[in-house]
Structure 1
Amino acid sequence: MSALSPLLATLAQRIGAAHVLTDPADMAPYLHEERGLYRGEAPAVLRPGSTEEVAFIVEACARAGVALVPQGGNTGLVGGQMPFGQMLLSLARLDRIRAVDPVDMTMTVEAGCILDKVHAAAEEAGCLFPLHIASQGSCRIGGNLSSNAGGTAVLRYGNARELALGLEVVLADGRVWNGLKRLRKNNAGYDLKQLFLGSEGTLGIITAAVLKLFPQPAQRATAFLAVPDPTAALALLKRLRGEAGDALTTFELMAAFGVETVLKHMPGTVRPLAGAYEWYVLAELSSPTRAFDLGALLEEGLGAAMEAGEVLDAVIATSEAQAANLWRLREDMSEAQKHEGGSIKHDVSVPVSRVPEFLDRALPACLAALPGLRPCPFGHVGDGNIHFNLSQPEGMDKAAFLALWEMFNRIVHDIVTEMDGSIAAEHGIGLLKREELAHYADPVALDLMHRVKAALDPVQTLNPGKVIGVQVG
């Protein structure tokens, strides 16, 4: 009999035997992550259905000296949701919308709610929850908050951290912290929720959250643009922001290789401009009022930008369907890239004003290191976050290419660090970037992180080895 059998029997009695998975076939979907970089291992997958059941599991496992890895929708990109011998705790069954208040402009949701379900509940109440990411049909809000997800609307609404007013968290000893406040102003002591937002389940397990809601947009204007280079894109960003203010919701930069890859591999995508260019921008304005015509404002701004040489060609969507087609050229990029072989990915940020400088330095440095490399930089230039992806040279062995990941990390991350940027903009650290964080982080900051971990999880019950690793001695 396994040494864990008594513990599993205790847990099964509390949450139901059907929700303690030990069969390899049943566990398989939880142990394979999106990029295929890691294959997880766990003695069991636990599927609690309430905060109380999560607390029971955590307390029981802490008493037994068994570590847990919390998991939401298993869409993480840095391996933070993968167990390597620990129990896996899936939050998928905690999927209730507890309350929606269009007067307070808040929504209280459980951690297992799929992001699209949160969007739908907000829309039904005549409101907007503005967190939008490519995996929103399968990711879960607890994971979004635990990784401080970003997405395409950060420019206007901020990261996930800025969209949460309150949290409910199960601590490493099984106690529940009820911080589900719906307040915009609350200076009663330390802002404890900030400890758990972005901490990837290493300090506590988020089981519910109070989210900020916003008015639904009454109009949108979406444009796909060709620009001469990233410097021109930055000038265009400044222009549109000056003319549209907070109505500028999205400003995404894409290199030609990425757009051509989407057009080549993703059925139903259509080339929006007559010509082919080196750089593109997807820009969107939105407003909750019809006090002014966004389409006319965007058209006027782009006309001035073309006269200034900031835009070479442009198309403004004339229908929701056309806007959706333009969005596909950006949102399908990561999926399309899989068809081009191995991809070494970097999720980095630099000050917005230095994005062109970063690209001017990083692109030739990587090409010099491996001739034939096909860079695919794209992302949220409006907030300085570039997904600096590198596709393998045509004909190169995939495994041999992926073996160069550490070399390219050093090239890219050295440049980012020199430019006062971040090696982890919105995907988190997890396991993939743990050693990179140790290499680049300020020693004082790293010491503080270890101290916080030791204070909240002294026996390493929660997601051990992730983000900062396990400190010995």
Structure 2
Amino acid sequence: MTDHPSNASVASAASADADAFVAACRDAIGAAHVLTDPHDTAPFLTDWRRRYTGAARAVLRPGTTQEVAAIVKLANTHRVALVPQGGNTGLAGGATPDAAGGQAVVNLARLNRTRALDPSNNTITVEAGVVLAEVQNQARAAQRLFPLSLAAEGSCTIGGNLSTNAGGTAVLRYGNTRELCLGLEVVTPQGEIWDGLRALRKDNTGYDLRDLYIGAEGTLGIITAAVMKLYPLPAANVTALAALPSPHAALDFLALAHRCAGPLLTGFELMSDFCLRLVGKHFPQLRYPFAEPHAQIVLLELSDNESEAHARTLFEQMMEQALESGLVEDAVVAENLAQSRAFWDLREHIPLAQAEEGLNVKHDIGVPISRIGTFIEETDAAIAQAVPGARMVTFGHLGDGNLHYNVQAPEGVDAPAFLAQYQAPLNRIVYDSVHRHHGTFSAEHGLGQLKVDEATHYKAGVEIALMRTLKTAFDPLGLMNPGKVLR
């Protein structure tokens, strides 16, 4: 008779192997950068929204690409799963370990060097842990623009931006992070280093590995550095707020702005009246910008390489047409940088005001731009029928079809109870509507662990099968961020 090991002995062996992994990591990257004490690891184990809290065998903080590669090789030897992490600002739980305690977090904040800045080639080469705002500042010092801009830019990192293919407020003109990247350096799941740091805009030499890693959320390998595109620094930015009667009018105004401004149009953000009322309620210093209420507000921005006078003249002509045609009910143009910043503060404080108001059901959806007005009308009506009194916080990047379509509990209703009762049915209403309109249930935040099941539900079987084939080919041991993107 063959004796089989007990569950206790298997668990003991696994624990011993994990302990050996941690000890080997101390030798590889230095004991000071291997965190195991609960007090030290706690900041790395909860996501930004505080929706997920995991446990980890250790938090590892490598300082070079070679150290990342050494960690991955050790993980292969000891069969320890790794969770790559940047600034830990993600909104889908993609950088949080599971609750079992056997995974290790690989935080890349120490990979924070700029390797090259080439103004003539309009490129900057940075490591994964460089904070987005630092890339913007270095570009500006060289009279260049790095256009990726989002609310977390003071703490999110380039590696995280690439891993989630972050969007932001300038996608309309410059595209998502994928469009801003020319080359990557990646540590593969086997611990090898792929040097794809090519600062080239044309390179037709086979499969585009770069685009596979971007948006993969660390499930195919760990991005350690990137070559990012820069652009000429605009001579002027002109910002305005326009009041409109409906989302349909906003779409017509967007078409007019495209005709009048063309590539100068760099921002076109939609905000409902309730969004700005909520901001004013919780941040009184940010006042409602118009004397009368309006159903929708658009924040738009032009970036001009000629002059501020040229930009303002163009802006005034566009606004004159919009007002005369009735698309726009009222408008105010920022007179200086401080007023422009105040306009953007209104937009950026919407998520903060929501948090102050209480728990809510968030959606990061995208539909074809032409369908946005109809989507909002139909889905608002379905939600009102399901939850009378629900308050819609609808805002986002209208210019690229991405809305943050959030549902706040009815006035006076306990927010946690509302979330527990209605989150699942509201998600189904919204995502089914998105699907009918040929959209996506995750436009810029990624899947992480939050939406991994939605992917299986809404994506075609052949697409999921192809994704699984890629995952198995790249990561046959399943050690790269398991449970994210795919189950």
TM class, shorter-length: over 0.9
Partner of residue 430, structure 2: 412
Mapped pair 1:217 → 2:228: no
Cα distance in structure 2, aligned partners of 1:399 and 1:266: 23
Secondary structure of the structure 2 residue equivalent to 1:428: coil
Q: Does the C-alpha gap of structure 1 residues 377 and 219 become closer, same or farther in structure 2, counting only changes over 3 Å?
A: same
Which secondary structure state, in structure 1, belongs to the residue aligned with residue 234 of structure 2? coil
2-side partners of 1:291 and 1:320: how far apart?
12
2:410 aligns to what SS in structure 1?
coil
Corresponding residue number in structure 2 for 1:281: 298
Per-residue CA deviation, residues 280-320 of structure 1 (Å, 9 max, x unaligned), is 00000002222961112111211110111110111000000
Alignment of 1:272-351 (within 5 A): 272-290=289-307, 293-351=310-368
Q: Is 2:32 the partner of 1:22?
A: no
Tell me which amino acid in the other structure corresponds to 1:435.
D
With the length of structure 1 as denominator, give the TM-score of the two structures: 0.98
User: Which residue of the partner structure matches residue 452 of structure 1?
Assistant: 470
The residue type equivalent to 1:63 in the other structure is T
Provide the secondary structure at the position in 2 that maps to 1:386: strand
Match of 2:126, SS state, is strand
Which piece of structure 1 moves more, 102-111 or 28-37? 28-37
- In structure 2, give the amino acid aligned to 1:454: T
Partner residue in 2 for 1:242: 259
2:451 to 427, 433, 436: 433
Alignment-derived partner of residue 271 in structure 1: 288
Counterpart residue number, 2:147:
130
Deviation, 1:216, is 0.5
Asked if 1:258 is matched to 2:275, the reply is yes
Change (3 A) 1:267 1:118: farther
Q: What is the CA distance between 1:260 and its match in structure 2?
A: 0.8
Match of 2:66 among 46, 52, 63: 52
Structure 1 stretches of 4+ moved >3 Å:
none
Query: Aligned partners of 1:437, 1:191: CA distance in 2, in Å?
Result: 23
2:7 maps to what in 1? none
* 8 Å contact from structure 2 (residues 165, 176) kept in 1: yes
Please give the per-residue CA displacement for 1:110-156, whole angstroms capped at 9, x wherever unaligned.
Answer: 00001001101111111010000000000001000000000000000
The DSSP-based 3-state class of the residue aligned with 2:340 is helix
Matches within 5 A, 1:376-395: 376-395=393-412
Whole-Å separation in 2 of the counterparts to 1:308 and 1:425: 32
CA contact (8 A) 1:270 1:325 kept: no
**Which of 79, 83, 99 is residue 69 of structure 1 equivalent to?**
83
2:276 and 2:22 map into 1 onto residues whose CA distance is 49
Spell out, residue by residue over 1:186-212, the C-alpha distance to the aligned partner (whole angstroms, 9 max, x if none): 001111101100000000100000000
In 1, Cα distance between equivalents of 2:486 and 2:284: 41
Q: Given residue 419 of structure 1, which amino acid in structure 2 is its aligned partner?
A: H
- Specify which of 187, 200, 205 is matched with residue 204 of structure 2: 187
1:191-250 deviation line (CA, Å, top 9, x unaligned): 110110000000010000000000011011100111010111111100011011000000
Note if 1:364 corresponds to 2:364: no
- 1:407-454 Cα offsets, whole Å, 9 max, x none, are 111100111111111111000001100111110001110000000000
Letter paired with 2:37: D
Residues of 1 paired with 2:293 and 2:284: CA distance?
19
Q: Distance in 2 between matches of 1:52 and 1:322?
A: 46
Using the TM superposition, give the Cα deviation of residue 62 of structure 1 relative to its aligned residue in structure 2, in angstroms: 1.1
Amino acid at match of 1:284: E
User: What is the CA deviation profile of residues 373-429 of structure 1, one whole-angstrom value per residue up to 9, with x for unaligned ones?
Assistant: 111010001000011011111222222221222111110011111111111100000
Between 1:96-105 and 1:295-304, the stretch displaced more is 295-304
Deviations 1:75-125 (A, max 9, x none): 000000000131100001001111100001000000000100110111111
Amino acid at match of 2:289: P
CA contact (8 A) 2:243 2:296 kept: yes
CA contact (8 A) 1:340 1:392 kept: no
Q: Cα gap change, 1:21/1:183 in structure 2, threshold over 3 Å: closer, same or farther?
A: same
Gap regions ≥5 residues in structure 1: none
Matched letter for residue 51 of structure 1: T
The equivalent of 2:26 in structure 1 is: 12
2:444 is aligned with what amino acid?
Answer: E
Kindly tell me: are residues 267 and 139 of structure 1, through their superposed partners in 2, closer, same or farther at Cα, counting changes over 3 Å? Answer: farther
Alignment partner, residue 82 of structure 1: 96
State the secondary structure of the residue aligned to 1:281. strand
Deviations along 1:440-472, one digit per CA (max 9) or x if unpaired, are 001110000000000000111100011111xxx
Identity %: 52
For these two proteins, the number of residue pairs brought into alignment is 469
- Which deviates more from structure 2 when the two are superposed, residues 330-339 or residues 397-406? 397-406
CA contact 1:110–1:207 (8 Å) conserved in 2: yes
- Please tell me the residue identity of whatever aligns with 1:456: F
Contact 2:238 2:308 in 1 (8 A): no
The residue number in structure 2 matching 1:168 is 185
User: Aligned letter for 1:68?
Assistant: L
- Residue aligned with 2:109, SS: coil
**Aligned match of 1:32:** 46
Does residue 399 in structure 1 map to residue 416 in structure 2?
yes
